[in-house]
Amino acid sequence: MTQEAKPGEVFLIDKPYGWTSFQAVKKVKWMRMAKKCGHAGTLDPLATGLLVICTERSTKKINDIQAAEKEYVAEITLGATTPSYDMETEVDQHFPTEHITKALIEETLHQFRGTIMQRPPLFSAIKVDGKRAYTLARGGVEHELAERPVIIHEIEIVQFEAPLLTLRFVCGKGTYIRSLAFDIGKALNSGGYLSGLRRTRIGEYKVSDAIAPESVQNLREQGNLSK
């Protein structure tokens, strides 16, 4: 039996691969019988990890949570690109990787730390003339998104075994990790696309404290972070 939602609950969900953020919100809303429910930062269906979901009065916290820095672990496949910068679309170009070493990667990553200008992916939710950019891209409509400043606080090499490069990022609001994958590949005189992504932290909230969407009903017994 579902329990009536208490005012101001904040749920930490470990979003599964293939789920949309909306699906996770809908699950929490139904299980907690909440009238108001929303998430603090979208995760793409192909990404996993921390999704902060707020119900009732806690939805007032969403903007503040969204503004907090975020941490991701990203797997980048070097030597190829895709139109969507991730695995939503097929590889469209191949590039050499024989020249790429860990030392070259370390040197290249310096230019991506701090405040940088980033062009969002064409397959993104940004609106262009009232339509989502991904809708235009999937329909073959040509369009271009303007560069915007984003802040990259930290980048760390977790593992490199060509052609796979795993990086840990700590970044500010509005950063597209897919664009970083593409741009880093290009800066290495090769190509790159995002082949795996996991969000591990948003501000004070950590994925280690999160649970699966199906477990929301039993959060009281599992020690949820309600505020």
Residues recognised as catalytic: 44
Both tokens of 208, joined, read 């280690």
Q: Which residues contact 132 (CB under 8 A, 6 or more apart)?
A: 124, 125, 126
Of 164, 62, 54, 181, nearest to 112 by C-alpha is 181
Total Cβ atoms within 10 A of residue 49 = 22
| Residue (of 219, 154, 227, 153) closest to 13 by Cα position | 219
Looking up tokens 């909230």 gives: 205
Cα distances (angstroms) measured from residue 105 to each of 98, 161, 166, 170:
13, 12, 11, 17
